Structure 1
């Protein structure tokens, strides 16, 4: 699919933007018509296959298909499941184009349409193009009947072949090389070469170089600053990129001599993206849009339309960071924080008690409370018991004629106490 946007400026009027969408599709007729009859993909029955009976291994369960001798009939309804309903009010027929649907088949092949379709014109004198005009509000179906195979259509020789590749190595810089070959041996081609590059692909315009080589002479090289008239670069339109806003627009008007090859090269720098700007498959690379080549009409007075050619798209590898590193850092940091926080939290909230203060391990809330109260009571009793005086020793004195009188409080004198202590030390009873 291609979308071409161009400006249309008439001589006396306002300029308008014209958008043209082109969709190229290749269909397998047999496979496209199969879902209408059998939606399950399976091999056709052997009865529906034309077998080559000259093969030695041909049998009831073995078949070698014969070469197709005629084209299979088809219709738009059988291929797409429904006909074309009406026409577009903005179709080309309103702008001077002869019709809406063009069918390119040999003139000898039978084609039929609905009553609303009309074969109104032929696009060229080759008599293989049939153009039909669609009805405004009715169905249009196109049926093509079978036709013997044997007539080969002559293919037009292309005027230009194009090849576009990346050059260089490394993650910082690279290069682009486009090889354009003029296949015409007599005509000089004038083309418009257009590249739309992403913003992270920044070309060095001073490295732009165009080299022309031919089989008859030595290669000639011309750069952007070449002031001679032999330069292959006739004109240039360049709009630099803005980071994360727009890409680079590079448009060149080139001239290629007959039977020559033009090699267009330039170097570019790869930008560094943020890690959030990478797609999930970052290691695959980034797609770069193909270059669009417009082949201008060979003669300025010719009324023929320009021919467009597109190169293949490219895959640009960019410097890719290690996306697993942030996760590794997060996991390691979280582990260290969890270990430190757990230790500090245990020291702050946990209370250490002796084993004798708790009756058992694994008690419930009530049992733990009882053990804690009992431990407190035992601790208080132990403190009170340590403050009591030691027990008094009982002493007796021997009967002596000289007995000292007791004092009024019933306490013996100091001599009596000393005598009693001496008897007690000798092990004698008083």
Structure 2
């Protein structure tokens, strides 16, 4: 924009130099040689750009504030400036450098660019979910491997006896005092079919989960 009017860049641009940026290595640089009319009062330059996504480790501590883009430098090659000292100083490289004629430079303000900030709690959530899945997997595996053959049947019998109460125990003691034989149910040497099926199902399920986990993270 020149004095509030849109002007094509080709009308005022005499030279252009572009140094493309390298991702996570060096920023890009754009150099333009512009020629403005003498009657110009104000000028504005607009550039379009695309915002990129950064890694979570590349964000500053206060990511919501945005990123500071260094100021641009405006060089006036037809205007020169130098410093003149009234008193004579001892010659030094710094004083000699300041007394030399150099093109006039002007610096713009620093640009603050806000970028899309990710959810910084996601790594914690991923770690928590992963640890929970591992705990459930290894807990089920150890439970299935360490379970005894007749443990479930024994637990079921204990629960049934607790429900019946102490009446059968009293009857058994009275029968022993009278000398009558007590009918004792022989403990089966093998597991019932339902218990076997449950155990096989648990072991197969744990093995399938392990295979799926291995191929998922492969």
* TM-score, length of structure 2 as denominator length: 0.51
Partner of 2:143: 346
Q: Does 1:297 align with 2:78?
A: yes
Task: Specify the SS of the correspondent of 1:335.
Answer: helix
Asked if the contact 1:239–1:250 (Cα under 8 Å) also holds between the matched residues in 2, the reply is yes
Q: Give yes or no for the alignment of 1:253 onto 2:38.
A: no
Q: Is 2:44 aligned against 1:263?
A: yes
Q: Would you tell me which structure has more strand in proportion to its own residues?
A: 1
**Equivalent residue for 1:374?**
none
What is the deviation of 1:255? 3.0
* Structure 1 unmatched runs, 5+: 1-210, 214-218, 356-381, 384-430
The answer on whether the counterparts of 1:289 and 1:313 sit within 8 Å (CA) in structure 2 is yes
**Within 5 Å, which residues of 2 pair with 1:28-427?**
211-213=1-3, 220-224=5-9, 226=10, 231-256=11-36, 257-258=38-39, 260-298=41-79, 304-351=101-148, 352=151
> Are the equivalent residues in 1 in contact too, given 2:21–2:29 (CA < 8 A)?
yes
How many angstroms does 1:220 deviate by?
Answer: 4.8
Distance in structure 2 (CA, Å) of the matches to 1:336 and 1:239: 49
SS in 1 for 2:135: helix
Distance in 2 separating the partners of 1:277 and 1:310: 27
What secondary structure sits across from 2:14 in the alignment? strand
- 1:247-286 C-alpha deviation (Å, 9 max, x unpaired): 2111112233245111111111112223333233322222
8 Å contact from structure 2 (residues 79, 104) kept in 1: no
Q: Is the 8 A contact 1:240 1:248 kept in 2?
A: yes
Contact 1:287/1:316 (<8 A) preserved: yes
How far has the Cα of 1:309 moved from its partner?
A: 1.5
Q: Is the 8 A contact 2:2 2:40 kept in 1?
A: no
Larger radius of gyration: 1
Judge conservation of contact 1:297–1:304 (CA < 8 Å) in 2. no
TM-score (norm 1): 0.28
CA distance in 2, matches of 1:321, 1:328: 13
Q: Which has the higher contact order (CA 8 A, sep 6+)?
A: 2
SS in 2 for 1:263: coil
Cα shift at 1:289: 0.7
Residue 323 (structure 1) shift:
2.2
The 8 Å contact of residues 297 and 305 in structure 1, kept in 2 or not, is answered as no
